[in-house]
Structures are given as structure tokens and as C-alpha cells.
Structure 1
């Protein structure tokens, strides 16, 4: 079916609310889990933000606001936080939300038995390092109940971003009775008890996940959308067809191949905004040949990012030569000298390093490049492999894998050589990217380990002066650019179609969208 055939015009809008307050959203891939301490992907977190509420919440524009805590205070040294919880807050079964529930969630996040990929993110909390290392029990974490509605959080080192961090799912509270009764099955419909604006109604694998309003939510009176369904939509062309047929109201993404048609026919429904994220390729440094920095740099230099963006993307993305995306106020991002070279200069240096690494026309590099199912990932992989072959003579075999298999192979590091990757900042601070490359970090699928870099991260964590901290982070990013354990490609934008009758959507650099903030207009 051609893009322009067989669909009705966009209906006229009314400013009055629609009688049927149901939102239908494309959500790319099946979430790997709805366990807030275990979930890792953006698609899971999109759903978890509707199901749960952290101590700190977010306004539609991303501004931090009271969430499960109605207020908080901070000690002069920045190491002690006291949170006053909402006395009206309830779980979806009517149980009161208590300080112990938040303590249980945070302890579970650092417990080795949980296996959370985000345990490292909680390192600023006192005792977290020892717990993650297996040297102390989860009860040693620097968080404790002062009374049923008062919680104390103690930090090992100052962390100016800690309030933003507390909006992350790994910090969400846990309904302890449900977890104790059902174990890992507590995330299933009929068993999952949540404290956010919505609760889990139905989960049909590879079909949809439906949430309905949590009538026990403290602010339910101001929640308008009655139900929201999330649809896994890895095929973006199919998602566009569903959107145009009126089957979904909000796409996860858009197919780049049809951007011209979309801009012509659906300009008022296309939303492209900055996003605190990076698209890159990871190298497996734990095995030859990518333990060789010259080879990594050769492949990095041989990528013409501007050409790639013009041919494959063209949706407002910017070429990435560093590790930290723009979007953090006052941060001066690092930039390598070769970023300002001409393509010819970069290719010449790439070929020199390629030969230095022991490869050439008589002995070409043969590698596998893995990516998870997505038409844009495939297109980018094809273009990059062509650039490598044209400039260096590299022979690349593309391997497409389903999401869960892809993640598993990345983490075990046995089959991977080069693989697609991306990272979306979990809080708006450069450290959200820098900590990813720390030795032993749960998301360090690259096997990168540099004592100099680790020492610098420790210094950043202990630094109380904001300006000095920013300078140290820029210094750390320069080490990443020097060592190149990853191949930066471009900085993200969010790109989606939203029906005109979905009101209340506000762009923010973190792209944290809450269904409770929107409403459906009559149409």
C-alpha cells in the first residue's frame, strides 16, 4: 500500500474532552520486564513511569516536583536528605505507601540477588559500594525509616543529581507483601500492585500491555485518561500504517524512508525534539582484535557521520564525536581534534592506523556486526559496513538478533565483536554517561577498564564544587575519546507522530512522558 492511499483526513477537533479517554501508544519492543529494579530498556521504563511513582516526580517539561514525597530538606554538606512522604499516598490495592516501601525498593536495587543493571547508579548512597561488591548486606544501605512517613537518605559523597536519580525506576518503592507472596511473578497482571497513576490490567505478549487508572492514586482526581495501551512496534512502517488507520494515537518512532511524505501530509502531527541520548557502536574489548586501540580508532575515523545522517536519518540528529550528549547546562563537552578534519584527512589516518594494527589488502579485517531488529539499525549497519569496506577493505558480516537474544549476547561478551548500542541518560547530568564505562558497571558490555578513568570518576563523585566537578567530567570524557571503547555516531532526537486530539504533551530533553499529564480531546 502506498503511503498516500486509503486513509481518512484528520478529523476536526473540539477543545472539550472526549467521552472515551483511552490512549494507544506504540512502544517499539516487548519490555523485558516490568520489575522496576530489573527493567533496563526504554520501552519498559515508559510503562513503569505510569505504574509507579518515586520519591521525586517530574512535571511535563521535565522539572523536578514532589512525587511520593511532598517535600524534602538537604543538609549543608549535601550528604543527608530527609523526605516527608504523602500521607494520602496508597498502593493500587488500598494499602498505605510507607517509608519502608521506599527503603525496600532502594535496598533491592543494590542487592546482588536482584541482579539490577542499575545497581552501580546508586553508588552515591552510603554503603552501596560495599553491598554491590558483596562485602555488606543490603540492610547496610544508607537509607532508613525515621517514621512511617519520613525517610532519611545518606550519601557517601555529594551527588548534585541525586534528586533527578530518584525519578528512575530502580528507586521506585516495592509492595513488599506482593513480592514476598509471588516472588518474580509479582509483575504479572492481577499480582502487580503499584503506587503510580495506573495499574496493570492486561499483558498479552507481542500484542499489547494495558494499564487502567489507579483509583487509589493520591492525585487520581486530576488524572483524565482512563486507560493506556502500549503496543510493541518494531516494524516502523507497520506502525505508521496503524497510526494512519487510527489504531494507535502515538508512535514510538517514524520510518526515515517516509519522512518526506510525513512532512508533507502530517506536518502538524510530527514531533521532533532534542533528546539526552547517544547512538553508537560498542567494541568487545575483552577479546582480539578490538583490544587494539589503533584498530578501534581506524574504524571510528572511517565513518563519515554527516553523510550517514544525510542518507539514513536527517531528522535533526547531530554528528557525535564525543560521549556526552548536549543538554546539560554549563557542561563543556570534549571534542577530538579529528572531528574538524576533512573526510579525506580522516580516511587517510584511518588507513594508516588500520595498517599499523596489522591489516591491509592482503589481510583484511573480517568482523561480525550485531544489531537488534529495527529497520533503521539495519540501514545504518549497511551504510557503515560500506564505509569500512570502501575506505579500509574491511569485510563485515551483519547479524540481526531479536532484542532479548541481542542483550544476552552483549552481556556475556563471548559472541560479540562490534554491536549496535545506545544510551539514554537516566538523569540530566554528564555522569549518567560517564559512569557507564566504569570498570565492572552493570551496563559496561564493552569490557572497558581503565584505572586512570576509574580514579577520575571517584574524584568526580567526591567533588563538592560544581564548577570543578564539571571540569573533571570533561577531563573524563577526553579519556573516552582517546581510548575509544565505543564508536559514537550521532546524538538522538525524539521523533514521533501524535494525533492532534492528544493534548498536554510537552517535549523535554529526557523524553519522560507521563500518561497522567495528557488528555484526549473530542474529535
Structure 2
């Protein structure tokens, strides 16, 4: 080859390399910058409640099973398992050599302690209902048995036995949820009541660990764990997480690409044009009417329901909300299909102000003093939600002559008031810990510790319990329809609208696949292209 031809080849090769670099190549050691729409209160796996808390737990802890980057269920801490012939006893064999991020060996006793702690009613774990089906779990959660009687036992340091009350073909899937994560008892007790409340009181076994948690700003940094020896490769070297920035600051950071991924309040969708957005409809805002309150009679509840003008508030609410004709958000799944793909339900209550007025007056006539008491609707302090709440309240005033105050509170206070029964009316967000429609419906069952609306119906309980064993799609749809009808007939939780979780994503981010069942974002699989500017 002549010198001239060699020179040309070298130049072409250089151009090709430059173009490749300019277009960007995926890097496995980048720092992912992520902005959350909420702050964290704790990252205790057995107590984590908000989507943001669950996201951190799923990225820093790992259970017996997990999902890979293709959404396939794979072994994690458990290298293998056996199942008894009757489908009731799972025996898990843990991989030896796995450790917590401080180098402490991970053992079967850590899973036993974590599960028994989650079942203890004194803890009030928000997702303890997911343990239902493990031997004695329901009785323990109800306070009728000791947590030590839970059907979970470490047979040795690396063998764990879990006993069920009846076969559950989806049990391995349940094990990916945060409430099933291990907890090192010695470390937990050393924290003296502060477990999960700071970087120094979190001991994790997942692909990342909490390096820094600034309790003043809420910002948190997850570093790749050098001690992690699991079945997946962790791409980023770290994830820097910012929490709850001022709107103007967040928008500027998105424009200047100082943030790679941002979880947005839904109201900001139109302000991030030019950025890819991903929307997941996983929450249903329900109007709760407390049956135990001084306005909770069946007559008053029916009157309020008949006086909700759905077309009126739908026309006023933002485009990113979807009117809810049933309780299950459209992106939740049943039988591995989104609810929106297999299920439709005609809202059974027509707007009827005349009948509503009659029922309201009849209800007031039976009220002490024959006078409508001072009444307050609790509402999240969010302008978009406030628009819907105001529309509903104004219609009640117009149709019923009922004057309702609106109290705007943050989510944590609303949850506290609703769960304690200390409310009259609330526009309350209902969601599941995972992508399961069945698990969301379980929140309405009589003995659920997460029953937020006072609904109690033994037939409904049996129906919901039977859903997980129903494989025929037509039968499944019939059961879902019946379950929805039963909820409507009680008039304690009326679906109003669905709201999304929204993420804005930079062009240089690859393999970003938020998914409800895997904690929305599995940062271990997220890549980031390097570019030359």
C-alpha cells in the first residue's frame, strides 16, 4: 500500500472515530443525575411507602428473586429453590459469599427477621398485606398470633424455608417487593430506633448503597457497591439524586442538561417540550366519604355521589389527568396484561341532582339538630388536584345547598388522617406497591391494614382472594366487574381521576425502562452516552 493510500486510510479512520464519539457511545461508569418529585422520610424496606422511597429501596436492596433488564424474573440472593409436592413449602438455597455492603455475610436469618418484622402489627408496615398467604400471616397482622409464628424459618445460614397456607403460582414474583427484603438484626438493633432514617443507619445488599443522604436538602447519592456479587452487572458508578427542586430551577436544569432523568409533577409536562417524557398511570384519586363520620350515613353518601357532575369536572381538569370510571389505574396489570387492555367498566351512577337533593334532605332530617354539620374535604396541596376538588365542591353547593370547606394538606398528613379515620371527606390518591391490580383491590378488603375507606364486605374479600387463581380471561373480567360494582354500591370510595407518574429523559440516556413491578427505575441497567460538545 502506498504512503498516500495509508495516509487516506488513517484520515478516514480518524473521521470515523470522531463521528462515533460525537454521536455518543454507551458508558458503563457514568454518574446518573436523577431528580425526584418528592422527598424521602425513610428507606427502611419494611416501612417504605411513597414511590420515591420504594425506588431507593429497590435499588439498594435485593431479595431472593429480582427482575433482569428484560423484565424476566431471575434468582437473586437465592441461587435455587425447591417446592413441595403440595405447593405449600418453598425451600430457598442462598448463594454463599453474598454480603451486605459493609462486608457482613448475608444469611437466611436476615430474611427471616425481615419478614417477621414486617408481619408484626406493631410496626404498621404499609405493605404487610403482601405477606398474606404465608402461614399465619393474616392472623399475625390482625394481632391474633405472635410474629414468631410466621411460616418462615432459617434452617441454616444459607437455607430458608417459607410455608404457605395454600399454593400461590405468583409467590416468587411477590419476593421482589421491598417488604420481602432482608434485615440484619444486629445492625437493626444497633440503630436504636433510627433504622432507615440516615445514610449511617441503612445497611443494604443490592447493587448500590447509600453513600450520602443530606437530611437538610433531601439529596441522596447512591454509589455502586463494590461488595455486590449478584447476578446483574451494575452500569453506573453512582446515581446522584436531587429532591424537590423549585420548579424554575428544575426546568433550567433540564434545559441545560444538568439532570439526566427527572421525575416531574404532571403539571410540568407542557414545560419540558423537546425532552422525551414517559408517563405511567398508576394512581387513582378517589373521593372518600367516611362512613364513621357525622356525615357518613348511607343517604348522605348516596346524595354526594349522585351530585358529582363528571362531565363538568372532567372539562375543567388538566389534560394529563384521565377521568376514572373504575378504581384500578389503567397501567396496573392482571394476568400479565394492563387493565386498560382487557377491562372496561361503565360508571354506574348517573348525575341526578334532583334525586341527590331528596336523599340529602332526608339524610339531614335524621341528623341531630336536623342541620348539616360543618364539613371539610381534605385535598392534596396541588393546583391541578385543587381544580378538581373545587369543581366537585361547587356542584355540591349548587345542587344540595351543602357548604364544604377544603383543607389543603401534604400527602403524609392526609395519609395519617385518613388511616386513623380522622376525616369526613378526602380526595385521596390510591396506588399499589407494584403493578398488580389484585394487590390494589386487596387494600379494600376487610382485614387489610391498608384499608383506608372503611369498606367491609365478606363476599368482596372472597372474590378478591379468588382473582389470583383465575386463569380464564372472561371469568377474570366478570369477577373484576363484580368487584367494582360492589365498591360502587357502598359509596365510600368514588373514583374521580387517574394521575400519572412522569419522567423527562435526556437523549444521552439509554435503556431507561421504568416499570411498576421493578420499582419504576432499575438504575443498574441505565446507560449514559458520552458526547463531545
Q: TM-score, normalised on structure 1?
A: 0.84
In 2, Cα distance between the equivalents of 1:294 and 1:336?
23
Report the 3-state secondary structure (helix = DSSP H, G, I; strand = E; otherwise coil) of the residue aligned with 1:190. helix
1:77-226 alignment runs, 5 A limit: 77-187=86-196, 188-207=198-217, 208-219=219-230, 222-226=233-237
Determine if contact 2:153/2:160 at 8 Å carries over to the other structure.
Answer: yes
**Does residue 1:386 correspond to 2:394, yes or no?**
yes
In 2, Cα distance between the equivalents of 1:303 and 1:62?
41
Output one character per residue of 1:9-46: Cα deviation in whole Å (capped at 9) or x when no partner. xxx97432459722222222222221111122212111
Determine if contact 1:439/1:450 at 8 Å carries over to the other structure.
Answer: yes
Question: Measured at CA, do residues 240 and 363 of structure 1 come closer, stay the same or move farther in structure 2, by a change above 3 Å?
Answer: farther
Determine if contact 1:101/1:175 at 8 Å carries over to the other structure.
Answer: yes
Determine if contact 2:141/2:449 at 8 Å carries over to the other structure.
Answer: no
In 1, Cα distance between the equivalents of 2:166 and 2:527?
41
1:445 to 438, 442, 452: 452
Q: Cα offset for 1:51? A: 1.2
In 2, Cα distance between the equivalents of 1:355 and 1:432?
38
Question: Measured at CA, do residues 520 and 13 of structure 1 come closer, stay the same or move farther in structure 2, by a change above 3 Å?
Answer: farther
In 2, Cα distance between the equivalents of 1:125 and 1:456?
19
1:84-483 alignment runs, 5 A limit: 84-187=93-196, 188-207=198-217, 208-219=219-230, 222-233=233-244, 236=247, 239-256=250-267, 258-262=268-272, 265-266=273-274, 268-273=275-280, 275-290=281-296, 292-305=297-310, 307-315=312-320, 317-326=321-330, 327-329=333-335, 333=343, 335=345, 338=348, 345-358=351-364, 366-414=374-422, 416-457=423-464, 460=466, 464=469, 466-467=471-472, 471-483=478-490
Unaligned runs of 5+ in 2: 1-20
Question: Measured at CA, do residues 429 and 382 of structure 1 come closer, stay the same or move farther in structure 2, by a change above 3 Å?
Answer: same
Question: Measured at CA, do residues 387 and 245 of structure 1 come closer, stay the same or move farther in structure 2, by a change above 3 Å?
Answer: farther
In 1, Cα distance between the equivalents of 2:48 and 2:88?
28
**Does residue 1:503 correspond to 2:505, yes or no?**
no
Question: Measured at CA, do residues 242 and 489 of structure 1 come closer, stay the same or move farther in structure 2, by a change above 3 Å?
Answer: farther
**Cα root mean square deviation, aligned:** 3.1
Determine if contact 1:284/1:445 at 8 Å carries over to the other structure.
Answer: no
Unaligned runs of 5+ in 1: 1-11
Report the 3-state secondary structure (helix = DSSP H, G, I; strand = E; otherwise coil) of the residue aligned with 1:115. coil
In 1, Cα distance between the equivalents of 2:188 and 2:457?
38
Question: Measured at CA, do residues 276 and 270 of structure 1 come closer, stay the same or move farther in structure 2, by a change above 3 Å?
Answer: closer
Q: TM-score, normalised on structure 2?
A: 0.83
Which has the higher mean CA deviation after the structures are superposed, 295-304 or 497-506?
A: 295-304
Higher Rg of the two aligned structures = 2
Q: Cα offset for 1:440? A: 4.3
Q: Which structure 1 residue ranges, 4+ long, deviate > 6 Å from structure 2?
A: 362-365
Output one character per residue of 1:227-282: Cα deviation in whole Å (capped at 9) or x when no partner. 223333286565434433444322222452x54453xx31x422224x34322232
